[in-house]
Structure 1
Amino acid sequence: MLIAYILVKDQLPSVASLKTIQWQTPMQIYSSDGKLMNQFGEKKRIPLKLNEMPQQLIDAILATEDDRFYLHFGVDPIGMGRAVLGQIIGQNKGGASTITMQVARNFFLTREQTYIRKLREIFTAFHIESLLTKDEILELYMNKIELGHRSFGFGAAAQVYYNKEVKDLTLAQIAVLAGLPKAPSTLNPLRSPTRALQRRAVVLKRMLDSGYITTSQYQEANNAPITAKKHGAEIELNAPYVAEMAHQEMIERYGKEQAYTGGYKVYTTTPSKLQVAARNSVMKNIFSYDQRHGYRGAIKNLRSLAGNSQDENSNVDPLTPAEISQALSHVLLYENLEAAVVTQVLENTIEITLKDHEVAMIEWDNMSWAREYINDERQGAAPKTPAEILNYADVIYVENTKNGYKLSQLPDVSSALVSISPDNGAILALVGGFSFYQSQFNRVTQAKRQVGSNIKPFLYSAALEHGFTLATLVNDTPINQWDQSSGTVWRPKNSPEQYNGEIRVKRALAQSKNVVAVRLFRDVGINNVIPHMASFGFSLDDLPRNESLALGSASFSPLEVVTGFATFANGGFLIKPYLIERIEDSFGNIIFQANPEIACEDCDQINNMENSSADINLPFYQNTPQSNHGNIAIQAVDTDTIAKAPTIKKAKRVISAQNAFLMTEALNEAIWGADWSITPGWNGTGFRARTLNRRDIAGKTGTTNEAKDAWFSGFSRHIVTTSWIGFDDHSRNLGQTTSNSNLGKEQITGKEFGAKSAQPAWIDFMEVALKDQPIKPFEQPQNIVSIRIDKKTGKLTNRTDNTSLFEYFTLGTEPTEYVSRDISNEIFNQDKSDTVKDIF
Structure 2
Amino acid sequence: MGRAEERRARQRGGHRAAPRRRSRRAPGKNDGKSFIRRLFTWKKLLGTFLGVCLLGIGGFIVLYLVVDVPDGNAAAQAAKLQSNVYKYSNGDVLARDGKVNREIVDLSEVPKDVRNTFVAAENKTFYNDAGIDLKGTARGVFNTLSGKGAQGGSTITQQYVKNYYLSQEQTVSRKLQEIVISLKVDRQMSKDDILAGYLNTSYFGRNAYGIQAAAQAYYRVDAEDLSVEQGAYLSALLQAPSTYDWAVASETGKKLVKERWNYVLDNMVEMDWLDSAKRQAMEFPVPEPPKAAAGLEGQKGYLVELANTQLENQLMKQEGLSRSEAESQVKGQGWTITLNIDKKKQAQLEKAAKTQLISKLDPEKRPVDADIQAGAVSVDPKTGKIVALYGGADYFKHYRSNATRTDYQPASTFKPVILAAALENKAKTQDGTTIGARTVYDGTSKRPVVADGKKIGFAPPNEDDVDYGDVTVQTATNKSINSVFAQMGIDVGLDKMMETATKLGMDTADLTPRAAHTLGTMGASPLQMAGVYATLDNHGKKVTPTLIASAEQNDRTIKMPDPIGEQVISREAADTVTSVLTGVVDDGTARKSVRDNPARDGQEVAGKTGTSDFGRSAWFTGYTPDMVTSVGLFGEAAKTKGKVKEGDQVDMKGATGTLPGKGRVNGGGIPAQIWAAYMFGVTKTDAEFDLDTTQGAGVEPTPTPTPTQQPTETPSDEPTSEEPTSEAPTTSQPPSQTPSQTPSQTPSQTPSQSPTTSPPPEDGDPEDPIDPGLGQ
Q: TM-score, normalised by structure 2?
A: 0.48
Task: Give the helix-richer structure, 1 or 2.
Answer: 2
Task: Give the strand-richer structure, 1 or 2.
Answer: 1
Of the two structures, which has the highest relative contact order with CA contacts closer than 8 Å and spacing of 6 or more?
A: 2
Q: TM-score, normalised by structure 1?
A: 0.45
